[in-house]
Amino acid sequence: MKHQRFFILLLLIFTVSTVGCSPGHVGGNEIAFLRDGHLWTIDPDGANAFAVFADNNTPVVGYSWSPTHQILSFRTLDADFAKTSAAKHLSSNPITSLPGDLPSTLNTIGIDGGSPIPIIFSNTVLRNSNAWWNTTGSRLIYREEITAATPSPNEVFWWVSQNDQPGGIARKLLPNSFSIPSIAPDNSLALGISKQGLFTSTLNGTDVHYISHSILPGHPLFATLERALWQPAHDHPKILYALESSVPPQQGASNTGSITVKLILNDLHGHTTALAACTCTQFAWAPDGNHIIYSNGPTSTIYNLNDGSSFSIDGEDGSIPYWSPDSLFLLLDGLHSLVLVQVNSQRKQLLLHDSIAFTGIVSSSAAIPGVNALLQPISNSLWADDSRHFLFSTRGRTHWLGKDLPSGSGLYTLSIDSHGEPQGDPLLVDSGNDTQAGWSYEDPNTSFLF
């Protein structure tokens, strides 16, 4: 124990002495991405590419922007595990390129580089997920489980760590939860679901309060539906979750093979409202907390809490929704297509697609994740903070608005006006083998699970 404390002290001294003199960026508008196991940042115009962290022995497999855009958390493979055949043949989501839980170290680092702070050290007998930030950027939440155990949300540990405390110092264990715990907008409480019911606790894992005192109907649900989410951007937030239902889905909804659920809005004062009945497989908030989105196969529906109206968009099954920070636009990033939705006008544009014949709907036979699947929210947003610029990776999709992208494959940015109209052609930022590109912080309450 003395040796570990001495190591941590040396690490802190080294970090303070080196971070100030490292080259790189100072925050603001940089884009981040992974390339060949290294973490990079780059200016939106393609200038000043900078390797924030590069170590061939411990490759980076995931990262996330902090809300301040000054710090990144990132996950590196355990050095011993990285030498194994399993590590060299990791499976990852074809759209996000993010692998699942792995033996790894979780770190934080400033945007200008320097020495990272390992908030937990790796261990070959433990796996952990990517880490997700709270809305102030002071805490990180992540999942941990024993490598030999059968993956199950009921058998994992949920931890909260400070972003600047190395080696697990002062990390706190949250109560057991079927679902990924959600953190309230004011960062005071965590929200989870267990056999005992829907509950809140402090971020220290104490003062557990049950909103319901028995297991919720149908829970645990399919992994993508097993959630309880705080309402963003509200001083007195409500919570959103799904219950199994015998109520028929809304007219026109397709059958995706999942159970029928109803989406429930709970004001935490004993009043609940059923917003929709659907065979949806995913749901999330918009950043303004006044809209929700839920998906049903290739159909995405946006529901307006202010007036109870809704509209649906047909797109590509399995697309990832990315809300603009002002909630006026929605990007649907699919394996074969990229669609931009203007929410107020309910207008959609097919921006990008590949050579597969595309008629507005691309179906998928992908199975719905089971109850025991260990999923993760999207780590980063494609949008810039101003909601008028976004990035995209081609991933074989090179047909742009009916013509070929003149610069070919790569990482691009695009500017739009207040009506969602593209302002000029996409700008090529980088043509390397870039993955997991992200421009800004993604609130897990607004993210789908993958």
Spell out the domains of the chain, with CATH numbers in brackets: 1-173 (2.40.128), 222-450 (no CATH)
Collapsed DSSP state (helix, strand, coil) of residue 126? strand
- 118's CB contacts (< 8 A; 6+ apart) are 11, 105, 106, 107, 166, 167
Cis amide bond preceding 369, omega within 30: no
Whole-angstrom distance, CA of residue 219 vs CA of residue 198: 11
pLDDT tens for the chain, 450 residues: list them.
444 444 444 444 444 434 333 445 556 899 999 999 999 999 999 999 999 999 999 999 999 999 999 999 999 999 999 999 999 999 999 999 999 999 999 999 999 999 999 999 999 999 999 999 999 999 999 999 999 878 788 789 999 999 999 999 989 999 999 999 999 999 999 999 999 999 999 999 999 999 999 999 999 999 999 999 999 999 999 999 999 987 544 443 434 455 799 999 999 999 999 999 999 999 999 999 999 999 998 999 999 999 999 999 998 999 999 999 999 999 999 999 999 999 999 999 999 999 885 555 555 556 789 998 999 999 999 999 999 999 999 999 999 998 999 899 999 999 999 999 999 999 999 999 999 999 999 999 999 999
pTM for the structure as a whole = 0.91
Q: In 2-129, which residue ranges form alpha helices assigned H by DSSP?
A: 2-19, 85-88
